[in-house]
Structure formats: structure tokens, C-alpha cells
């Protein structure tokens, strides 16, 4: 469940764009053909799309000229700027990224329940689906192991991204969790912990969505009763099932290029899918060092138990 690489975005731009570049082709037909074949091959351009090589011009990069290449279909074209070495031996593409506008560094976490030290310099943001089995595995890795390892050095924030096409009760679980979170951060996390370890209880034997909804509401009310939350307020929130907040979070996930869960961002660095703890910890350690914090020391590997001989040998 991951985004297709560069070409998918390229084709999307192509279909949306309406400009038509009118540039002269390169003089050498053999070179032009080699460039077209290379571009089609490297970016998986479908055979039904036209690839037109524009006129090369001097660039600011020593040893390279700029080379516009037009990709289009049915009169809808877009121009992608490539570079070609002056000796015609190499084709390159240079992209410019605005570091100040990286969306992964500007995820909206206002009002979200925080686990860990609210003032920690490193934030781990997880786009979560409460019905997703891989999310459950990641959750159980984060809590308690990862939280115990980093203690007050890291804070954890969950955002909603229920994959409703696959998981029929994930949306209701997200809404119910937010109803609890509006009253208590600790109860929000207790509910999330429970669902990620008792998914089969919510599924039920016959996997009836209506029964799953009832189970989710019942569990939420039980947690609220234990914590002495405002029951009428919770009941009203559960009954309303306002999905606006969840859909806004899912839309944000889409703009970040997420199409599967779990998806974690550690100070902007992305981790997609369930990964072993050591891989996750390596990313968190990098973020801590960048923030001027010393990561925890590596956990020592336990020594193997000594081999003992059976009695009488």
C-alpha cells in the first residue's frame, strides 16, 4: 500500500496541465531517439504518451545544457526540464525542493493527545488505523518498548487515517477515540491500547459491522466510567458520529503521500509500514542527535546461558 514512484506524479501533472510547448527538436535524430528511449524506460511512460525532445540551451551547471522534454497525450502536455552533458553522454534531471515548505515538517498536531514528555524535542507522529493488524504490531512495539527506551526524550502523537475500504469499523473507532480524547488524554490512550490488543473482540465471530460498532461504543463507555468522565457528553459525541476531524486527518495523510498504515514521521523523516524496532530506533536516534540530545546507549546483547553437562558425564 505505498505510493507509486515519480512517474505516477509525472503523469498526473501531464493530464492536468494544458500548456503546449513549441520547441524545436535536437539536430541529431539518433541522439533524439536515444533520449526518448531512455526517458520512456526510466520513468515507465506508457506507449500511448508522446515524448518530444525540445531544443537544448546553455545551463548554469558546468558541462551540461538544459533540455526540455515534453510529455503529453491528447493535446494535454507538460514540460519537464532535463539536463544533457555537453558531450551527449549523460542525461540528468535536477529537482529543486523548498525546504521551508516540506509538509512532513508541518503536520498539524494541535489538540491531539500526547503520550510521553509534552516538552520533548523529538516528536513521533503515527498515522494510525485502529482496525489495521500492522498498526497493532507497530503500536505494541512503540508501547512499551520504544517509550521505555526513550523515556522523557520523545513524545508520541497519533493521527487518524482509517482505511475504510478495508476496515469497516476503523472510522467509528477513530471517532469514539476522539470523543474520549476530548475529555481525557489518558483515557484516549487506554482506549487505543485496548483496541490494538483486542481487535478480535471487536470483530466478533460473525464480523457483523453493527455488532462491532456496538462493541466499540461499549468499550468507550466502560473506559469513561472507570475514569469518571462526563457520561452524557460522551454519549452525545458517540451518537453524533461527527467524522469531520477524522476526514481532515485522512486528507492530510493523502497530501503527504500516505496510502497505507502505519505511517510514522520522526521530525519529518518517514517510516512506512511496520518495521523492526532497531530500524525505528535508528531514525529516532538521528532526530535526537540533530536536536542536540544524546540517544540512549545501545542495549547490551544478553550472554548465552552456559552449557552444563548432564549429571554423570
Concatenating the DSSP letter of every residue in 63-94 gives: TEEEEEEEEEETTEEEEEEEEEETTS--EE--
Question: Would the pTM count as exceeding 0.85?
Answer: no
92 CB-side CA count, 13 A? 16
**Same-domain check for residues 28 and 147:** no
DSSP SS3 for 228: coil
Residue 70's φ and ψ, nearest 5 degrees, are -100, 125
**Same-domain check for residues 108 and 223:** yes
pLDDT of residue 47: 86
> Closest Cα partner for 82 from 29, 39, 24, 33?
39
**Same-domain check for residues 117 and 167:** yes
Residues of the chain with pLDDT under 70: 1-27, 299-313
92, 124, 139 - which closes a domain: 92
pLDDT of residue 16: 38
**Same-domain check for residues 44 and 112:** no
35, 61, 92 - which closes a domain: 92
The DSSP bridge pattern shows strands 76-85 and 64-73 to be antiparallel
Q: Is residue 304 part of a domain?
A: no
Contacts of 237 (CB under 8 A, 6+ apart): 179, 182
What is the number of domains present in the chain?
Answer: 2
**Same-domain check for residues 185 and 271:** yes
Question: What are the tens digits of pLDDT across the range 257-285?
Answer: 998 999 999 999 999 999 999 999 999 99
Q: Is residue 283 part of a domain?
A: yes
| Cα→Cα distances 2→12, 43, 261, Å | 16, 17, 9
pLDDT of residue 97: 80
**Same-domain check for residues 70 and 115:** no
Q: Is residue 309 part of a domain?
A: no
**Same-domain check for residues 245 and 172:** yes
**Same-domain check for residues 237 and 153:** yes
Domain of residue 146, residue span: 104-290
**Same-domain check for residues 161 and 76:** no
Amino acid at each position: 500500500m505505498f505510493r507509486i514512484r515519480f512517474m505516477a506524479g509525472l503523469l498526473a501533472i501531464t493530464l492536468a496541465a494544458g500548456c503546449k510547448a513549441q520547441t524545436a527538436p535536437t539536430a541529431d535524430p539518433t541522439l533524439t531517439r536515444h533520449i526518448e528511449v531512455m526517458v520512456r524506460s526510466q520513468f515507465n511512460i506508457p506507449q500511448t504518451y508522446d515524448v518530444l525532445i525540445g531544443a537544448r540551451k546553455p545551463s548554469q551547471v558546468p558541462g551540461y545544457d538544459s533540455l526540455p522534454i515534453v510529455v503529453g497525450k491528447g493535446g494535454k502536455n507538460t514540460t519537464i526540464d532535463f539536463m544533457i552533458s555537453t558531450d551527449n553522454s549523460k542525461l540528468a534531471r535536477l529537482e529543486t525542493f523548498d525546504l521551508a515548505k516540506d509538509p512532513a515538517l508541518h503536520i498539524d498536531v494541535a489538540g491531539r493527545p500526547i503520550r510521553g514528555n509534552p516538552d520533548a524535542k523529538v516528536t513521533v507522529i503515527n498515522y494510525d488505523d485502529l482496525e489495521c493488524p500492522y498498526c497493532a504490531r507497530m503500536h505494541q512495539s512503540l508501547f512499551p518498548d520504544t517509550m521505555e527506551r526513550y523515556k522523557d526524550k520523545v513524545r508520541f502523537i497519533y493521527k487518524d487515517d482509517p482505511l475504510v475500504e478495508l476496515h469497516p469499523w476503523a472510522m467509528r473507532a477513530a471517532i469514539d477515540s476522539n470523543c474520549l480524547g476530548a475529555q481525557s488524554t489518558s483515557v484516549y490512550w487506554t482506549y487505543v491500547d485496548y483496541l490494538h490488543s483486542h481487535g478480535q473482540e471487536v470483530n466478533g465471530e460473525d464480523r457483523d459491522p453493527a455488532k462491532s460498532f456496538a462493541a466499540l461504543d461499549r468499550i468507550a463507555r466502560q473506559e469513561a466510567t472507570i475514569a469518571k468522565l462526563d457520561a452524557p457528553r460522551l454519549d452525545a459525541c458517540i451518537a453524533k458520529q461527527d467524522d469531520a476531524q477524522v476526514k481532515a486527518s485522512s486528507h492530510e495523510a493523502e497530501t503527504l503521500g500516505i496510502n497505507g498504515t502505519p505511517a510514522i514521521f520522526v521530525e519529518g523523516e518517514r517510516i512506512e509500514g511496520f518495521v523492526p524496532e532497531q530500524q525505528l530506533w535508528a531514525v529516532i536516534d538521528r532526530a535526537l542527535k540533530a536536536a542536540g540530545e544524546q540517544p540512549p546507549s545501545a542495549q547490551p546483547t544478553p550472554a548465552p546461558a552456559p552449557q552444563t553437562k548432564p549429571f554423570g558425564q
